[in-house]
Chain A
C-alpha cells in the first residue's frame, strides 16, 4: 500500500500486463503499456480473421437463401429503376453475436 503514492499508475498498469498474459514489452510508471508493432499487427490480424469468420458464419443463415436478396447497392438501385419498385433494405451486422 505504501507504494501507491510513490508510483501512481504503476501498479494498475503492471497488474494489467500480468493479467493480460505479460505481453507488454515494457511498462514505465504512469504510462499505458504499449504493444510492440509486431504484437500489435498480430492482434489486428487475429481480429480481422475473427470478423471474417463471423461474416462467413452469418452468411450461412437460412433466411439469406430466401427472397432473392440483392447484396450490391448499385444493382438494387438499377433494379428499382427498371422494375419501378422500392428498395426494401435490411441493415444488419455480422461482427456482433
Chain B
C-alpha cells in the first residue's frame, strides 16, 4: 500500500517520516521509537506535531489510505482545538471529548476536567458516550468503583453495563487465553456456562471470537443443538466469507447435531417420550 500512488498523493499533505530501528550499536537515533512511543509495538503508524509529540496512533484496522485520511483529519482537529482550548470554552469542551475519543484521557482525569467545564446537553451526551468507553481499558472492579455515584444518561448507563459485562466475560475466559504447557484441552465449557447464565458479549466495538468459538465447541461436544445454532449464527455473521473453511466445518457439525436430533425426536432407535 505504501508503494501505491494513492499513498504518494496522501504523503503530500504531511511530512512522511520513516524510522527503522536496527539494533546496530551506536547508530544515531536508533532508540527513537522507544523514546517517543515507549509502550508501542512494531509497526506503529502515527501522526506527530512539529515538537515530535505523538498525537494519535493509527489502529491496525486503519492501515489504509482511507484510514490515514481519517487519522489526519482527527490529528489536525486535535491540534486546532488544543490551540483554542485555553481561550475558548467551546473548544475546551470539544478538546476534552476528542481526547477521550482518542483514548488520551483516563476516566478519572476526564471526570475531573469535565467538572471545571459547563457541558451543554449535546456535548454532555457525547462526553458520557466517550467516557464510558474508557472503562474497557480498566479492570472490572476498578471500572465498577469508577461508576459509583456517577449520574449518567440512560444510554450511557446501558452502555456502561454492557462494558462491565464484557469485562467480566473477559475475566472468566482468561484461562482460555493461557498457554497449556501439557497441550491439554482448553476449557471451552467456560463460555458455555456464561452463555447459560445469559452472559453474552456486547460485540462492541469488536466481535468476541474467543467466546463464540469456544461456545460452539462446547455446545457441539455436549450435543446442544440450540446453543450451537446460536454460536454458529454469530460466527457466520461475523466472518461471512472471510473464513469460509472454518464456517464449512461448523456447518458440518451443525448437520451432525441436527441428524442426531432427528433420531432422538422419534427416528428409528431414538428414545420416545413416554407421554
Main SS class of interface, A: mixed
Minimum CB distance partner of A89 in chain B? B17
Complex interface: chain B residues within 8 A of A88 (CB): 11, 14-17, 45-47, 68, 72
Q: Whole-angstrom distance from the CB of A61 to the nearest CB of chain B?
A: 9
- In the complex, the answer to whether B22 meets A93 with C-beta atoms within 8 Å is yes
Of the candidate stretches A7-15, A24-32, A77-85, the one touching chain B is A77-85
Q: Count residues of A near B (Cβ-Cβ below 8 Å).
A: 36
Complex interface: chain A residues within 8 A of B264 (CB): none
- In the complex, the answer to whether A59 meets B20 with C-beta atoms within 8 Å is yes
Main SS class of interface, B: mixed
Q: Count residues of B near A (Cβ-Cβ below 8 Å).
A: 43
B239 within 8 A of partner (CB): no
CB contacts under 8 Å to A, within B43-94, are: 43-52, 54-55, 68, 72, 75-76, 79
Complex alpha-carbon distance, A45 and B135, angstroms: 48
- In the complex, the answer to whether B15 meets A91 with C-beta atoms within 8 Å is no
- In the complex, the answer to whether A80 meets B15 with C-beta atoms within 8 Å is yes
Q: A87-B17, A92-B20, A95-B23 are in contact. Are A68 and B11 (CB under 8 A)?
A: yes
Chain A interface (Cβ < 8 Å from any Cβ of B): 48, 51-52, 54-55, 58-59, 62-64, 66-73, 76-77, 79-81, 83, 85-96
